[in-house]
Structure 1
Amino acid sequence: MKVFCGRVNPTTGAVDWVEEDENYDYHQEIARSSYADMLHDKDRNEKYYHGIRAAVRRVKERGEEAVVLDIGTGTGLLSMMAVTAGADYCYAIEVFKPMADAAVKIVQTNGFSDKIKVINKHSTEVTVGPGGDMVRRANILITELFDTELIGEGALPSYEHAQRNLMQERWEAVPHRATVYAQLVESHRLWSWNKLFPIQLDCRTIQPPPEMQSCPGAPSVCDVQLSQLNPGDFTPLSDIMVIFRVDFSQHISSSAASHPVNFTSATNGAAQVVLSWWDIDMDPEGTINCSMKPSWLYPRLHPVPWRDHWMQCVYFLPEEKKVAQGEELCLTAHQDDYCIWYSLTKPSTEEDSPAFSEHPACRCGAHINWNRARFGELNDQSRMEKYKKALKKILTPSSVCLCVSDGSLLPLLAHSIGAARVYTMESSSMSQHLMEKLFQTNHLKEAIQIVQKSPDKVTAADLGDSKVSALIGEPFFTTSLLPWHNLYFWYSRSALSGNMTKDCTVLPLSASLYVLAVEFRDLWRIRSPCRSCEGFDVSIMDEMIKKSLDFRESQEAEPHPLWEYPCRALSDPTKVMTFDFRETVPTDDVKTEGSVNLVRPGMCHGVVLWMEYQLTEDISVSTGLLQVDDETGDCQWYPHSKQGIYFLSSLLDLRPGSSHSHSSVTYQLTFHPQLGDLRMSFTPDS
């Protein structure tokens, strides 16, 4: 049996449906999951165990048998903890069949089959009674249904159903309660992920369309490793506030609700962003606490737990609001079954109930067309200055300029510099509509013409019966996931050859693929084997992950924003392949092989890949590495692009005292022009 899966095709800039093996989705779910991350989260695991042991003790002290309901059991780890803590029986529910099958094997391997029943159903489908999934109701409810936003995985409806249908009249809950915290801040950096800023050109300022500035923005939360945000990147306008609590030992309602909190503004500023996180108390007394707070809230030298399955939240207010120091304000969290969002108002009286705000949804199209990183990239003034400088070198008053990139500001730069005619090619009607509004707002609708055709369909008539003398691009395309997917620009350039003058200038001139061997501080955990966890044998899980990582798709690089994930350079950055945009795409495969020497001690976890674009002979822009500290090897990464990460299947230990003294990583790379695909292999050598 075959299945069809969407994959980016750089030759067309589109997402194609590709026939894959029937186990494709299964392997991807396992390989890309956070199971390894959670198994390595020692802080989480220990807190859960202490909370479970305390709950079992409280039930036993009442003279009752301890019957556990574990919703979302995953590997079965929490159920095994419960039995070890003295629980009499556990019902472990897991809806994802491959994980449920794994849990059965793990439970059996650890000798708990007689006390743990794994149920492969959604918890709302579980039945109780003779012939049912559960013989009797439970009196201990253990769950790990949380995401970065706390409720985004449908925790509240699942709790509501379980408490009403699967639990006894009195039950213990682990965790016992959750608390959501928030802080209102002003942040130019974070706000640049949500709004397009005015663009200063030589002779005028480009203004964003009014509907873009008043748009509530994207409906989804922005989850991020706030620990990697410099505290100097934001100004607190409030103290850290408790927004609301959820007591899991009481009946929960999943109905929509609002949670207003009155506060006094700490300083003058522009209210733009809400930073938020949560913690969970595993026991009623709150002595066993697991917190998601960012690292800069921990005492100096205090160990900070790292986890990628739970991060922190950035929420954007619908509009920026000026606030004054000492001003009385009300920050309200609005919540439905799956989402949280915020509004800022004047305080309401006790008689007034807070008005429920509709869930924000993009009305302008920009937040649908551009992701957070793209907003940041468009607002990156230093990057824009490089493009402006490069365009001034190549454009003349007679230039016929065509831009090939999605939602790019380069046509505006080209027009301001004085090109005779400017055209821009948009790959979708949504992108076309967005750019039309931008041009119209700035009275440039007649000056910049939009061509909404694929490059191979463009005719001379589309270009005013002229030929292009300057083909430009960032390049950026909304379908791109990995750095080399933007090579669609190269394919477009090749398709447009008949519409270009013989001496047509192409910007960028070329793209170069770079690689760097690195040691991750923490990111390695998401792919690291874990044969034992808290004393339990989970090697089956290790084998499943390894098997999935051996699957074809999982052997390729995967995208990650490395500014969030600190790492050290163990090698020098190495240019491994160059794509010359002045020439058309070749017909034959392009192959390269070699090795990168590891010049610093450390544990080599993987290889980072990124593109650097040569705009002109002396101006380049990088989508990856910006700087390496000579002493420590700490890397600084471009924050508005994701880099490609290839995790090594076997690690190289070059730390002091290890058996390896000199080592390298061998690479083999093949670019398949017919597919637009980059296949790669990296192998550590000792």
Structure 2
Amino acid sequence: MFLKSFSRFSKNMSVFVQKLNPLTGHNDWVIQNEDYDYHQEVARSAFADMLHDTERNRLYEKALKVAIDKIHSLGKKALVLDIGTGTGLLSMMAVRQGADKVTACEAFKPMGQCALKIIELNGFKDCIRVVSKRSTELTVGPNGDLSEKCNILVTEVFDTELIGEGALATFDHAHKYLLEKECVVVPDNATIYAQVVECPLAQNWNKLKDIYNDDSEILLKIPQSIKNCAGSAAVHDIQLSQLPLNSFNTIIPPTPVLRFDWSGKTPFIYERSTINTLKSQLDGTAQMVFMWWELQMDINGDHLLSCAPFWAHPNKQTLPWRDHWMQAVYYLPQEVKVKKDQELHLISCHDEYSLWFNLTTDLKLTKTDYLNPVCNCGLHIAFSRTRIGQLNDSKRNKKYLRILEDNITPQTVVLFLSDGFHYGLVASKLGAKKVYFLDTNLLSRRVLKEFINYNNIENAIVLEKAEDLKSVDLKTVSIVFGEPYFTSTILPWDNLLFLYLRDSIKAILNENVQIFPKKCIVKAVAVKFDDLHKIREPLGECEGFKMKNFDDLIQESSNISDDDVEAQPLWEYPAVALSNEVIIAEIDLLTEHRSILEAQGNVKLEKNLPCNGLALWVEWSLDDTPKGTVTTGPTESIEIGKKIQWDMYTRQGVCLFTSKLAQTLQYHFTFDFKDGNITFKCT
């Protein structure tokens, strides 16, 4: 749901907030806490697994010890500046390792207040000064935030792209205005690694494929404007370690391509490019770059923090799990055919906040080779990478093709109620008399029209909004077809917008009209996640420091701003099944619904393991046969005690909770058809 506007309506610190209801497609006014935005920001700042990352925490402390010992060996007091202190963890570590004076700055004031309480709770009130400012606003001098410049800087201002949170400007400003010339920085430097690969599985998230029938005859061609598009430069952060090793071939092995010196000994460069000339390891097609980074935590290079996937990680036996620093995929602007031992030139670029890559076999480079890729076809702007992968899912598409082949005649008129369902144009190729598309998203409509023009389809009409259906003689429509998919979808059941669109026109459809899909089934399974639960798990203590105030703050804000179910791509987060799949609710899409659908029951745990989550998904029954089921959940049968294989092209719903041993979980599902609200609770 998206915030639009609000106004106060009472004195009890509540507001009316206008949100888009993804089920009905309407903007609804709902009551929210006045500080909803604030609480949402606090909740999103954690529980994320940052402070559960034991390796990160301990490497920071080890590097702090090296830095403090170094300054003390020079006969100086260790004056530490902690930028972005968060809970105050690194500041308290600095004191524990002998720092003489610590100043911690935190721009987000609620977190700064929390840090003060945690610091006091742990007995460091007199050792650490917390300043609620951005580091670029700090002043130095007798009456300043810092009485004098510091000689040690510790900070964690990194993201999956390393520099996406403004690390370059943060370090640059600190060295110019807040630090002594001969200072020590934790971490000392960083290195970006790039691995060029051929990976058809990942390319499904980037490039659309032509559509064929079972006889290998082409049904729908991808427009050249889409085929030739360089795609989006936006980072695709992903848990690369969950990609099957047999899903990619390495063209160029992991290679250091960019180095960032945080120590201040070299100038900070905000834009640059490097070229690495290397040889291909094999014949193949270079499609993308896998990227990650490594931090050298201390000045001696003894402590390294690597974000590499398991096949390239220096500590394969103790591989840490992180959701705050993942790996990334960068799709090359164009695929490059290569031969084994062929000389290749890998171009690595960055600006102040982002990275991009290119690959060429010709060293005669032009300005174009260095440009940040920009989508000019509209596809990569209209749709998420998950959606592009979904459109390429051949198993899924064959289910739609079978229904269309079985039901289309030369007299058939089809109305598609979905966004961006260009596959529906196959109906025209199969001989339908006329095809209507109701596509409410401007960008996806443009892509759909490009498909229509490129494939010379003359009997397809694209409608922009439900009101436009009034211009259509709906009595002539013989099939109403939904994928269903809508760009407003977050949770799997949000695509029930199809039901509301269908209800809005049912009275003026002919009585013999066929509707697909016929049923929506909500399912669930109890699981034990290896790691995902850490993003919501309270800390209790972190590296020996009490974190109760932080846990309380996050829990309060989460209770106010978070729904019980959130969307996650579960294929990236391994989980063991603890129960059989359970049908939560069945929703008939052929009848009109006026009452509230309620379902409650138990999920019986069949495995004596701690349960920390319940995964949810939906299945769409196109017809009454197993072949006609389109799932957004497991792609193989669930086996208790074994890892679940999830659909990689949708996000599932998940309820996360603190690990518990139990025999059953109790759930309560409510679908208010009138208001278009679904609630789900699990205890």
**Superposition map of 1:549-560 within 5 A:** 549-551=558-560, 553-560=561-568
- SS of corresponding position for 1:275: strand
CA contact (8 A) 1:512 1:612 kept: yes
Quote the residue 1:659 is aligned against: none
Distance 1:86 1:273, change over 3 A: same
Q: Deviations over 1:589-633 (max 9, x none)?
A: 111111111111211112111110001110101101222553632
Tell me which residue corresponds to 1:67.
79
The alignment covers a number of residue pairs equal to 666
1:565 corresponds in structure 2 to 573
Partner of 1:427: 440
Residue 462 in structure 1 maps to residue 472 in structure 2: yes
- Answer whether contact 1:410 1:473 (CA < 8 A) is retained: no
Q: How much has 1:671 moved relative to structure 2?
A: 0.8
**Structure 2 counterpart of 1:231:** 245
One-letter code aligned to 2:386:
A
Q: For residue 657 of structure 1, what is the aligned residue in structure 2?
A: none
For residue 311 of structure 1, the aligned residue among 326, 337, 344 is 326
Of the three residues 550, 568, 571, the one matched with 1:541 is 550
Amino acid at match of 1:276: M
Q: What is the CA-CA distance between 1:299 and the residue it aligns to?
A: 7.4
Quote the Cα distance in structure 1 between the aligned partners of 2:597 and 2:103: 55
Matched residue, 2:234: 220
Q: Check conservation: 1:4, 1:17, Cα contact below 8 A.
A: yes
Deviation at 1:254, TM superposition (A): 4.4
- Please say if residues 628 and 634 of structure 1, whose CA atoms lie closer than 8 Å, have aligned partners that are also in contact: no
Q: Which amino acid aligns with 2:679?
A: R
Structure 1 residue 599 and structure 2 residue 611: aligned? no
Structure 1 partner of 2:594: 587
Task: Report the alpha carbon displacement of residue 183 of structure 1 after superposing the two structures with TM.
Answer: 0.6
Amino acid at match of 2:469: V
What is the CA-CA distance between 1:187 and the residue it aligns to?
0.9
Cα contact 1:126–1:133 (8 A) shared by 2:
yes
> For the Cα contact (< 8 Å) 2:607–2:640, is it kept in 1?
no
Shift of residue 119 of structure 1? Answer: 1.3
In structure 2, which of residues 83, 91, 99 is the aligned counterpart of residue 79 of structure 1? Answer: 91
Please give the secondary structure, in 2, of the residue aligned with 1:646.
strand
Q: How far apart are 1:22 and its partner, in Å?
A: 2.1
Q: Which amino acid aligns with 2:398?
A: E
Cα distance in 2 for partners of 1:143, 1:508 equals: 53
d(CA) in 2 for partners of 1:299, 1:66: 32
1:242 to 245, 253, 256: 256
Structure 1, 313-322 or 558-567: larger mean CA deviation:
313-322
Cα distance, 1:326 vs structure 2 = 1.5
Distance in 1 (CA, whole Å) between partners of 2:289 and 2:73 is 43
Verify the 8 A CA contact 1:260 1:354 in the aligned structure 2. no
CA shift digits 1:6-56 (9 cap, x unpaired): 744134336667552222122222323344411111011111110011110
The reply to whether residue 206 of structure 1 matches residue 214 of structure 2 is: no
2:411 corresponds to 1:365:
no
1:145 corresponds to 2:160: no
**Aligned pair partner of 2:420 in 404, 407, 429:** 407
Q: Which residue of 2 aligns with 1:282?
A: 297
Partner amino acid, structure 2, of 1:579: I
| 1:358 shift after superposition | 2.8
Code of the residue aligned with 1:362 in structure 2: it is C
The Cα shift of 1:304 comes to: 1.1
Aligned to 2:486, which of 460, 472, 477?
Answer: 477
Equivalent residue for 1:123?
135
Q: What SS class does the counterpart of residue 655 from structure 2 fall into? A: strand
Gaps of 5+ in 1: 655-662
Does structure 1 retain, via aligned residues, the 8 Å contact 2:185–2:262? yes
Equivalent residue in structure 2 for 1:612, among 619, 625, 643: 619
Equivalent-residue separation in structure 1 for 2:28 and 2:70 (angstroms): 56
Distance change >3 Å, CA 99–CA 256, structure 1 → 2 = same
Deviation at 1:675, TM superposition (A): 2.6
- Find out whether 1:196 has 2:212 as its counterpart: no
Shift of 1:353: 10
Say which is worse superposed, 402-411 or 140-149, in terms of deviation: 402-411
- Kindly provide the amino acid, as one letter, of the partner of residue 611 in structure 1: V
Matches within 5 A, 1:29-68: 29-68=41-80
| CA displacement, residues 305-347 of structure 1 (integer Å, 9 cap, x when unaligned) | 0010010010001111212222111111110110000111246
In the TM superposition, residue 219 of structure 1 has moved relative to its aligned partner by: 2.8
Given residue 576 of structure 1, which amino acid in structure 2 is its aligned partner? I
Question: Within the alignment, does 1:22 sit opposite 2:34 as a pair?
Answer: yes
Tell me how far apart the structure 2 counterparts of residues 532 and 430 of structure 1 sit (CA, whole Å): 48
For 1:168, the aligned partner's letter is: E
Q: TM-score, normalized by length of structure 2?
A: 0.94
SS at match of 1:388: helix
2:288 maps to 273
> Is 1:671 matched with 2:666?
no
Aligned-pair identity in percent equals 39
Partner of 1:660: none
Q: Choose the corresponding residue for 2:178, options 166, 177, 192.
A: 166
2:198 maps to 1:186: yes
1:80 and 1:15 map into 2 onto residues whose CA distance is: 47
Cα distance 1:6–1:635, how it changes in 2: closer, same or farther (>3 A)?
A: farther
- Retained in 1: the 8 A contact 2:250–2:281? yes
Partner amino acid, structure 1, of 2:255: M
3-state SS of the aligned residue for 2:103?
strand
Distance 2:48 2:469 in 1: 49
Q: Matched residues in 2 for 1:213 and 1:453: separation? A: 29
What does 1:457-536 correspond to in 2, within 5 Å?
457-459=468-470, 461-463=471-473, 466-536=475-545
Alpha-carbon separation, structure 1, partners of 2:17 and 2:102? 37
Report the secondary structure of 2:176's partner residue. Answer: helix
CA positional deviation for 1:457: 4.5
> Does the aligned pair in 2 maintain the 1:427–1:452 contact within 8 Å?
yes
Question: Partner of 1:633 in structure 2?
Answer: 642
- 1:419 & 1:46 partners in 2: Cα distance? 65
User: What is the aligned counterpart of 2:105 among 74, 93, 98?
Assistant: 93
Q: Give the 3 Å change call, closer, same or farther, for CA 355–480 of structure 1 in structure 2.
A: closer
Distance in 2 of aligned mates of 1:629 and 1:487: 25
**1:436-472, CA deviations, whole angstroms, 9 ceiling, x for partnerless residues?**
111111111x121111122x5511x334x75321000
Kindly provide the amino acid, as one letter, of the partner of residue 680 in structure 1: F
Aligned CA distance change for structure 1 residues 510 and 229 (closer, same or farther; 3 Å): same
How far residue 252 of structure 1 moved from its aligned partner, in angstroms, is 4.2
**How far off its partner does 1:381 sit?**
0.8
Distance 1:539 1:488 in 2: 42
For 2:58 and 2:112, the matched residues in 1 are separated by 23
CA distance in 1, matches of 2:14, 2:326: 36
Q: Measure the CA separation in 2 of the matches of 1:151 and 1:65.
A: 31
Match of 2:270 among 255, 262, 266: 255
Counterpart of 2:347 (choices 332, 349, 352) is 332
**Structure 1 residues 259, 15: CA separation in 2 closer, same or farther (over 3 Å shift)?**
farther
Contact 2:606 2:640 in 1 (8 A): no
Distance 1:415 1:29, change over 3 A: same
1:397, distance to aligned residue in structure 2 (A): 2.6
Q: 1:298 offset after TM fit, Å?
A: 4.3
- The answer as to whether partners of 1:348 and 1:354 remain within 8 angstroms in 2 is no
| Offset from partner CA, 1:247-276 (integer Å, 9 cap, x none) | 111244242111221111111111110001
* Gapped regions of structure 2 (runs ≥ 5): 1-12
For the residues of structure 1 that align with 2:17 and 2:350, how far apart are their CA atoms?
Answer: 33
Amino acid in structure 2 at the alignment position of 1:458 = L
